[in-house]
Structure 1
Amino acid sequence: MIAVAPDPAVLAGLASTRPEPAGAAFLRTGGHARRLLLLKTLLVRVRRHRDAVAPAALRSFEAGWLLLERTERADPDVVRAALDYPTTGTWLAAALTEPPGAGLDRHLAYFELLAVTAALRAGLRMDLTVEAPDGVIPLPGLGRVVAGGPGRVRIDARSRSVRIGSVDGTGSRAVLRRHARGAVRAVTGSGPGWHGVRALPGGATRLEDLDPYRLPPGMGMPARAAADRADTDHAGWAGSWTAARGLLRATDRARSFEVGRTVDVVVPLVPLGTRSIGATLGAAPGAILMTPAVGALDMVETLVHEMHHSKLATLHELVPLHGPPPPDRAAPTYRVGWRRDLRPVAGVLQGAYAHLALADLWHRAARAPRGSGVPGRWRAQSARQFDHIHDQVVEALALLLESDELTNAGREFARQMRTHLASLGSGRRALGPHCAHGT
C-alpha cells in the first residue's frame, strides 16, 4: 500500500486497459518501492531472528547485502534491474513466508547469488567462493553454472572475464565475458558448465527456463510445473513470439509496444492436455507463465489477458481496490459469465479487467481494414468474441459497482472500466462493416 494515490487521470488510464506511459511509470515506480520495502522487511527479520539462522546462511546473506551496497554505489540502475527481475519477487515471497529452518537458510543463500549477478553486470572485480549444495550456481536473469558435485564454487571476476568453477578444480567450468556497448553492459558465457537465459526475438523479453524461483511449488489446481531447459523448444517459442508480436503490431501498435516493455520474462510451463494455459504471479510482475501457444492468435490473447492480471495485481498492492472479507461472515461470491464456479469480489474484478482488455483488442482487430496485416479469419473471429464477452463484462461491472467490498478507489476504477467499455459500443454495429468479411 502506498501513501499517495495516483492522479485520477492515471487511474482512469489504467482502468481503460489502454497503454499509457503515465500508468506504466506509476506501476513500475510503485512496484520497485514495494520491492525495496519487502527486502528491508527480510533484512529486519533476519537480524531479529539471527540465532535461528544457520551460520553459513547468515554469512552468505550478509555478504550479499554488502556486495549489493557496493554495486549500487557503482551502478544503481543495475541493482534496480536485479531487484525488479520477476523471480526476485518470487524469491522474496518465499523467504518472507518460510519459517526458520533449512528452507529459510536455502532462500537466504540465494540472495548472495542475486548480488553476485548484479556485480557481474556492473563490471565489478571480485574473487569469492559460494556454497553450491547441489553443484549449481543460479545467476538470476543471466543463467546458471553447473559446476559438478556439491561443494564450494569460486567466482573470479576480472575486468572483462569471469571464471566460475569448483574450488578443487574438478567438474565443469564456465567463462563469462563482459562487454561494454555504450552505456549498456552485456555478459555472455561459454564452457561446458554454462547455461545462459535466452532472449526472445525483437526486444528484451527473455525465455526464463532456468531460475529455481520461476515457479513456486504446488501452484494451480492441478499443480503446474515449469518446463526444464532440456524440454524447452526455444526455436518454437521464438517463432511463436515473433508471429504473435507481428500480429499484435498490425492490430494494435501501442499494445505491442506495451507487451515489449512490460513482459520481462515468459516462463514455459509443462503442457497439461491440449488446451493452452496462461498464468501470472502476484509476487512477480513482468512474468507471464504459459504452455506453448497454439498459433499466434492464441499467444496474443494469452499475453494480453495475463499482462492485465499482472497490472491489476500490482495496482491493488499500491492502491487497494477492495477490502478484506468481513470477519463475521463468509465473503460473498458471484457468478460471472466466463467461469463455472462462483468468484469472490477479487476474482470478479480480475476477470472483468482482463476481459475488458481482450474486448478492446478484439474491437480493434474486428475493425482492422483489409491490407492491415490482420488476417480476415481473426477479424471475423474477433467480432464474435467481442459480441460474446461484451455483455459478460457489463454484468460483472454491475456486480462490482453494487458491492460494498470495493474501496472508493476501486469503485472509481470500476466506473472508469465501464466508461471505456461503453466507448467501444456493443454488438456488431459498433464494430463497423469490416468485421463481417473474411479474406
Structure 2
Amino acid sequence: MITAPPDPAVLAALATTRPEPVGARFLRSGLHARRLLLLKTLLVRVQRHREAVAPPALRTFEAGWLLLERTERARPDVVRAVLDYPTTGAWLAAALTEPLGAGFDRHLVHLHLLAVTAALRGGLAVDLVVDAPGGVLPLPGVGRVEAGGAGRLRIDARSRSVRIGAGEGGGSRAVLRRPRSAPAGRLTGGGPGWCGLRSLPGGTTRLEDLDPYRLPPDMGIPARAAADHADTDHAGWAGRWTAARALLRGTDRARAVEVGRSVGAVVPLVPRGTRSIGATLSAAPGAVLMTPSAGASDMAETLVHELHHSKLATLHELVPLYRSHDRTASTHHVGWRTDPRPVAGVLQGAYAHLALADLWHRAGRASGVPGPWRTRSARRFEDVHDQVAGALAILIGSDELTSAGREFARQMGKHHASLSSGRRAHE
C-alpha cells in the first residue's frame, strides 16, 4: 500500500500496543488514504464495465459521485468522516468483490446514500428524489427513514432543517435538524418514520444497529446475526459501556482514551448461549461486533482485544507484515486456540493478547481499581503472558514474515519482556 516503510519509531510504537499518538496518526491517515484508493478503484471498475451496469444504477452512482465531489469542496472534514466510518469500508469490500450483475448494481447505489448523508451533514442545500427500496432510506452513520412502503422519497434540505417524505411532496415527513453548534455535521431528527442512530455515552461512538453493511452475510460458523434496532437494549448497552470505560480509566487512562477515539461503532450481535462474543472485520476497522457482555471487565477486555485486531489489520494493509499464505503454508498451535493457526492468525492473536497482558499488568498496579478486577487481572496475566511468549517464538522463527513483520515481532517481544516484572510481583 505504501511505497516506503514507516519511521521505525512508528512501527515500534504500534508493536507495544500502547496508545501512542504517533501510531494513531499513522493509522488514521493510512486508513483514509486506503478508503480513497478503494473508492477510486470502484469508479474505475464502473467505467470499464459501463455496458454491464443497469442504466438506473449507473445514473444513481454517477449522481452520487458528483454530489460527493460537491460536498468535498465545501466540507472536506465531513466527507472524510463519512468515508472513514467503519461500515463504509464494509460496503467498499462488498462492492469490489461482487461479480457484475444485479448484486453489484445494488451495491453501487449505496454511494448515492453516502453522498446524500455527507451533503446533509455538511449543511449543503439539497433538493432531490432518491430511491428507497421497501420504503427504507438509510443514512449511514446517522439513521434511517422508514416511509411505509413508498419507493421514492424527496429530500429537501434548506438552512438548518431537512425534510424527508414522499416523492410527490405529500404526506407526513421526517425532519432533521442541523444545529449550528453540532460538531462534524451532527444531525438530530424526529417526526414520522425517523429512526436515529444512538450514540454511547461520553463520546462519539455509535451503537450501530441500523446500517445494512454492519454485518456481512454468513459471518462466522455458525453464522452470526446482527441485532435489530427495535430489539437492542440501548440503556443496557449504554450502562455497560459507561462501566467498562470507567474501569479502563481507573486502570489505564491512555487506554480508555484510545478506546473512546478509535472505536467508532459497537455493533450488537444476537446472543447465542451465555458466553460473550467479540469480533472485528478487517474491511471495517473501528467497528467492534459483540454480544452483550457479562459485566464491565468482560466488555473492557473485549474492546481492547478487538480494537487491536483492527489496528493490526489496518497496519498490515499499509505495511505488509507477512506474505500471503496458501494451502501449503505451515500452521501452528497457540495457547488461546485449539485449532492450528497460520502465521497471520498467530500474529493477530499474539498482538491482541499482548494488549490484554499489558492491560492486566497495569491493573495489578493501579490504585483504586476494584479488588475482584485486580485479582482477575493477575490470574489472567499469568496465563496469557506464557501464551504470548510461545506465539512470539513462532513468529520470530518464521520465514513467512516480511522484514517489517520480523521487526514488528521483535519489538512486540521487547514489550512482552518488559511486562515480566508483573509476574515477579505476584510470585
Give the TM-score normalised by structure 2. 0.98
Match of 1:209 in 2: 209
* Partner SS for 2:109: helix
Letter aligned with residue 105 of structure 1 = D
- CA–CA distance in structure 1, aligned partners of residues 388 and 341 of structure 2: 14
Q: Is the 8 A contact 1:268 1:292 kept in 2?
A: yes
User: Cα distance, 1:431 vs. partner?
Assistant: 4.8
* Partner SS for 2:177: strand
User: Cα distance, 1:180 vs. partner?
Assistant: 1.1
Match of 1:244 in 2: 244
User: Cα distance, 1:300 vs. partner?
Assistant: 0.3
Deviates more, 1:223-232 or 1:171-180: 171-180
Letter aligned with residue 178 of structure 1 = R
* Partner SS for 1:144: strand
CA shift in 2, pair 1:35/1:223, >3 Å: same
User: Cα distance, 1:291 vs. partner?
Assistant: 0.3
* Partner SS for 1:164: strand
1:379 correspondence with 2:377: no
Query: Once the two structures are superposed, what CA deviation does each residue of 1:240-286 show, in whole Å capped at 9, x if it has no partner?
Result: 00000001000000000000110000000000110000000000011
User: Cα distance, 1:185 vs. partner?
Assistant: 3.3
Letter aligned with residue 40 of structure 1 = K
Q: Is the 8 A contact 1:149 1:171 kept in 2?
A: no
- CA–CA distance in structure 1, aligned partners of residues 27 and 112 of structure 2: 27
- CA–CA distance in structure 2, aligned partners of residues 400 and 56 of structure 1: 51
Match of 2:339 in 1: 341
Letter aligned with residue 15 of structure 1 = A
Number of residues of Structure 1 aligned to a counterpart in Structure 2 = 427
* Partner SS for 2:209: coil
Match of 2:3 in 1: 3
1:332 correspondence with 2:330: yes
Q: Is the 8 A contact 2:10 2:22 kept in 1?
A: yes
Match of 2:405 in 1: 410
Q: Is the 8 A contact 2:78 2:185 kept in 1?
A: no
Match of 2:23 in 1: 23
Q: Is the 8 A contact 1:177 1:188 kept in 2?
A: yes
Which of 375, 394, 415 is 1:420 aligned to? Answer: 415
Letter aligned with residue 283 of structure 1 = A
Letter aligned with residue 168 of structure 1 = E
* Partner SS for 1:299: helix
1:127 correspondence with 2:127: yes
Q: Is the 8 A contact 1:278 1:289 kept in 2?
A: yes
1:232 correspondence with 2:227: no
1:350 correspondence with 2:366: no
Match of 1:45 in 2: 45
User: Cα distance, 1:161 vs. partner?
Assistant: 1.1
Point out where structure 1 has 5 or more consecutive residues left out of the alignment: 433-439
Letter aligned with residue 329 of structure 2 = A
Query: Once the two structures are superposed, what CA deviation does each residue of 1:287-329 show, in whole Å capped at 9, x if it has no partner?
Result: 0000001000000000000000000000000000000126xx6
Deviates more, 1:148-157 or 1:291-300: 148-157
Match of 1:435 in 2: none
Query: Once the two structures are superposed, what CA deviation does each residue of 1:318-369 show, in whole Å capped at 9, x if it has no partner?
Result: 000000126xx61100000110000000000000000000000000011223
Q: Is the 8 A contact 1:363 1:431 kept in 2?
A: no
Which of 343, 359, 384 is 1:361 aligned to? Answer: 359
- CA–CA distance in structure 2, aligned partners of residues 229 and 206 of structure 1: 12
Q: Is the 8 A contact 1:390 1:426 kept in 2?
A: no
* Partner SS for 1:138: strand
1:138-217 superposed matches below 5 A: 138-169=138-169, 173-181=173-181, 184-217=184-217
Q: Is the 8 A contact 1:176 1:188 kept in 2?
A: yes
User: Cα distance, 1:173 vs. partner?
Assistant: 2.5
User: Cα distance, 1:95 vs. partner?
Assistant: 0.5
- CA–CA distance in structure 2, aligned partners of residues 75 and 51 of structure 1: 33
- CA–CA distance in structure 1, aligned partners of residues 308 and 351 of structure 2: 7
Q: Is the 8 A contact 1:16 1:417 kept in 2?
A: yes
Q: Is the 8 A contact 2:363 2:377 kept in 1?
A: yes
- CA–CA distance in structure 2, aligned partners of residues 231 and 214 of structure 1: 16
Point out where structure 2 has 5 or more consecutive residues left out of the alignment: none
* Partner SS for 1:62: helix
- CA–CA distance in structure 2, aligned partners of residues 228 and 172 of structure 1: 25
User: Cα distance, 1:427 vs. partner?
Assistant: 6.2
Letter aligned with residue 428 of structure 1 = R
- CA–CA distance in structure 2, aligned partners of residues 299 and 172 of structure 1: 41
User: Cα distance, 1:428 vs. partner?
Assistant: 3.4
Letter aligned with residue 188 of structure 1 = T
Match of 1:323 in 2: 323
CA shift in 2, pair 1:109/1:184, >3 Å: closer
User: Cα distance, 1:168 vs. partner?
Assistant: 3.4
User: Cα distance, 1:147 vs. partner?
Assistant: 1.1
Q: Is the 8 A contact 1:146 1:172 kept in 2?
A: no
Match of 1:391 in 2: 386
Q: Is the 8 A contact 1:82 1:88 kept in 2?
A: yes
User: Cα distance, 1:182 vs. partner?
Assistant: 7.0
CA shift in 2, pair 1:91/1:306, >3 Å: same
Q: Is the 8 A contact 1:157 1:163 kept in 2?
A: yes
Query: Once the two structures are superposed, what CA deviation does each residue of 1:175-224 show, in whole Å capped at 9, x if it has no partner?
Result: 11111117653311111210011010001111000000001101111111
Q: Is the 8 A contact 1:279 1:289 kept in 2?
A: yes
- CA–CA distance in structure 2, aligned partners of residues 134 and 377 of structure 1: 50
* Percent of aligned positions that are identical: 76
CA shift in 2, pair 1:171/1:333, >3 Å: farther
Match of 2:60 in 1: 60
User: Cα distance, 1:170 vs. partner?
Assistant: 6.3
Match of 1:91 in 2: 91
- What's the Cα RMSD here? 1.3
- CA–CA distance in structure 2, aligned partners of residues 212 and 37 of structure 1: 23
CA shift in 2, pair 1:325/1:259, >3 Å: same
Q: Is the 8 A contact 1:148 1:171 kept in 2?
A: no
User: Cα distance, 1:171 vs. partner?
Assistant: 6.5
CA shift in 2, pair 1:380/1:362, >3 Å: same
Letter aligned with residue 241 of structure 1 = W
Q: Is the 8 A contact 1:367 1:431 kept in 2?
A: no
CA shift in 2, pair 1:88/1:311, >3 Å: same
